[in-house]
Structure 1
Amino acid sequence: MLDPDHRDVDVVDAQWNFYVNDLLISMQSAEEGIRMAEQLRHVTTLGGFRLTKWASNSMEVLESIPESERHKGVKEIDLECKPFPAERTLGVKWDLENDQMVVVIKHFEKKGSATRKDLLHVISSVYGPLGFLAPFLIRPKVIFQEECRRKKGWDEAISDSNEVWWQRGLMELIHLTDFKMPRCYDPRGARATPFQLHHFCDASQVAYGVVSYLRISDGTGDVRCTFIYRRAKLVLLKQLTIPRLELFAAVLAVKVDETLRHELSSDTGRSVFWTDSVIVLQYIHNTERQFHMFLAN
């Protein structure tokens, strides 16, 4: 039951922004953020729950939260002075000062040749749910897949050729320490609708993937395109032709589009899919012949 004095904020929408016991939500202004925080704290209190560990990149919002309920990192700072600390949000580091998401790369050192266990350790230690670093993780994953084909033990050294590529890939990851991406899709605060989703898909003999961008227009002809999601997958051990892999990439793009449309709260208009495969385009536009089961599916 909502407080009748605060019906101007739709708290019901906030339920879709809870992940287990964490809430991650964005508002258009500090005023909306203050009202949302106040009403969320009131509604959860009615159910016997207390929301704590609040953090925000807005000083006004933080000042509206009792100090005892703020996150440890922002509890004792002087809100009139900067910089803000960096906090972790759902496993990703959030730079409150610059409002950026930071991907942390753990430093990895090992004497001697790498093993399959080392490869898996490094690959698993890099966490980026939106696919920031997908292009840089493909090489280690391909090497790991090739070593799996060799059917050697987890503690056996990888091949000399893969060791060279592994060291190159490891250096690339190390150079990406504290890689940052803007959290906000459009800092201008444009409310123009509808937005557009553009998906670019492609494939090779070892991997295929899709990268998605959000195209935003403020209604005056000023257009901003921002990265929103990237996903890459290795090709199965069973060899497939390039046209079929290009088709896999196109299907993946459609699945990504469905996921993003479900997750985005903004009004997205048309989705545009891009591919450089003429064969895939012919598959999609074909209406005259019946395909074999693989292509039909």
Structure 2
Amino acid sequence: MDVELSRSPPRSLRRSDRHALHFSPHETIKVLGISWEPEADYLRFHSQIRTSSEPPTKRSILSDIAKLFDPLGLIAPVVIRAKILMQELWLLSCGWDDPVPEPIKSRWEIYHQELVKISEHHVNRYAFLPSSVIQLHTFADASQAAYGACTYARCEDVQGKVRIQLLASKSRVAPLKRITIARLELCAAVLAAHLHARIKKAIDVNVSASYFWSDSAVTLQWLRSPPNVWPTFVANRVSEIQQYTNGCQ
């Protein structure tokens, strides 16, 4: 959450002769692994995974996944696919340097080929409208394979212009020990509560209202009641969510 989103950069840093700046993990600027185009004020992503003639192994796949650096979760739906694949590899009894089974190899090669298209994606670095009323809308969702949360900023200025942009997201691979979808939805809601709290602290702007959204009727019912009426797993998470979302809708 170290990327500053609340202020537009001066024009001196956005001259047309500085088409793009590329930051690496060894630089002090906290936009590691992301490309910034100052003139358009865009953030872009580029795949750091290189094509290899060697068959993929557990070690090489894990190394490649580690190169998908996305601190704000702006390409989380892309990254989580690789993490789900890696989780499946953990369940297989293959060595670190053994070629992975053919089904995994095929899926990884398809993923690798599609990953090049990520360079076509860009987001506005400056997320807000000047002198606008800002709302935060945080969504939580889950599936049997993964769960996640994302926060959008909705800005409306005095002329009635509205701008909505993704600020950040977080995703997690579902645990190997299977739990119900309802409990995964609750875990997603916990993730959403923490994500919103971190974003609100990081952006340092006046937020008029915060809204939380879930399509899980079970989760919403859990959150309407005091934690002590539920089993321990649910009670602990309901308590945490209620604490972090106090005063929100």
1: distance between equivalents of 2:41 and 2:195?
Answer: 25
Structure exhibiting the larger radius of gyration computed from Cα positions: 1
Superposed, which structure 2 residues align to 1:193-232 within 5 Å? 193=133, 195-232=134-171
Q: Give per-residue Cα distances to partners, 1:108-155, cap 9 Å, x unaligned.
A: 212243111121121111212111221111121111111111132111
AA aligned to 1:132 is L
Structure 1 residue aligned with 2:52: 110
Kindly indicate whether residue 94 of structure 2 is the aligned counterpart of residue 152 of structure 1.
yes
Choose from 228, 244, 247 the match for 2:186.
Answer: 247
- Structure 2, unpaired ranges of 5+: 24-28, 237-249
Q: Give per-residue Cα distances to partners, 1:227-271, cap 9 Å, x unaligned.
A: 110111111111111100000001110010110111111101221
Q: Is the 8 A contact 2:4 2:203 kept in 1?
A: no
Structure 2 residue aligned with 1:143: 85
AA aligned to 1:190 is P
The structure, 1 or 2, with the larger RCO (C-alpha pairs under 8 Å, 6+ apart) is: 2
Structure 1 residue aligned with 2:198: 259
Q: Is the 8 A contact 1:104 1:179 kept in 2?
A: no
Using structure 2 for the length normalisation, give the TM-score.
Answer: 0.83
Once the two structures are TM-superposed, the CA of residue 93 in structure 1 deviates from its matched residue by 1.9
Structure 2 residue aligned with 1:295: 234
Choose from 161, 184, 190 the match for 2:126.
Answer: 184
1: distance between equivalents of 2:4 and 2:192?
Answer: 26
Once the two structures are TM-superposed, the CA of residue 24 in structure 1 deviates from its matched residue by 6.0
Q: Is the 8 A contact 2:152 2:164 kept in 1?
A: yes
Q: Is the 8 A contact 2:6 2:203 kept in 1?
A: no
Q: Is the 8 A contact 1:57 1:97 kept in 2?
A: no
- Structure 1, unpaired ranges of 5+: 1-16, 29-55, 63-73
Q: Is the 8 A contact 1:202 1:246 kept in 2?
A: yes
AA aligned to 1:160 is E
2: distance between equivalents of 1:25 and 1:247?
Answer: 29
Aligned length: 228
SS in 2 for 1:177: helix
Structure 2 residue aligned with 1:168: 110
AA aligned to 2:122 is K
Aligned-pair identity in percent equals: 29
Structure 1 residue aligned with 2:11: 58
* Deviates most, 283-292 or 151-160: 283-292
2: distance between equivalents of 1:99 and 1:141?
Answer: 30
Once the two structures are TM-superposed, the CA of residue 25 in structure 1 deviates from its matched residue by 8.1
Q: Is the 8 A contact 1:200 1:253 kept in 2?
A: yes
Once the two structures are TM-superposed, the CA of residue 177 in structure 1 deviates from its matched residue by 2.6
Kindly indicate whether residue 212 of structure 2 is the aligned counterpart of residue 273 of structure 1.
yes
Q: Is the 8 A contact 2:74 2:166 kept in 1?
A: no
Using structure 1 for the length normalisation, give the TM-score.
Answer: 0.70
Once the two structures are TM-superposed, the CA of residue 221 in structure 1 deviates from its matched residue by 2.5
SS in 2 for 1:110: coil
Structure 2 residue aligned with 1:52: none
Superposed, which structure 2 residues align to 1:1-80 within 5 Å? 27=7, 58-59=11-12
1: distance between equivalents of 2:97 and 2:10?
Answer: 45
- Structure 1 residues 252, 25: CA separation in 2 closer, same or farther (over 3 Å shift)? closer
1: distance between equivalents of 2:103 and 2:7?
Answer: 50
Structure 2 residue aligned with 1:5: none
2: distance between equivalents of 1:295 and 1:93?
Answer: 41
- Structure 1 residues 98, 253: CA separation in 2 closer, same or farther (over 3 Å shift)? same
Once the two structures are TM-superposed, the CA of residue 289 in structure 1 deviates from its matched residue by 7.0
- Structure 1 residues 227, 283: CA separation in 2 closer, same or farther (over 3 Å shift)? same
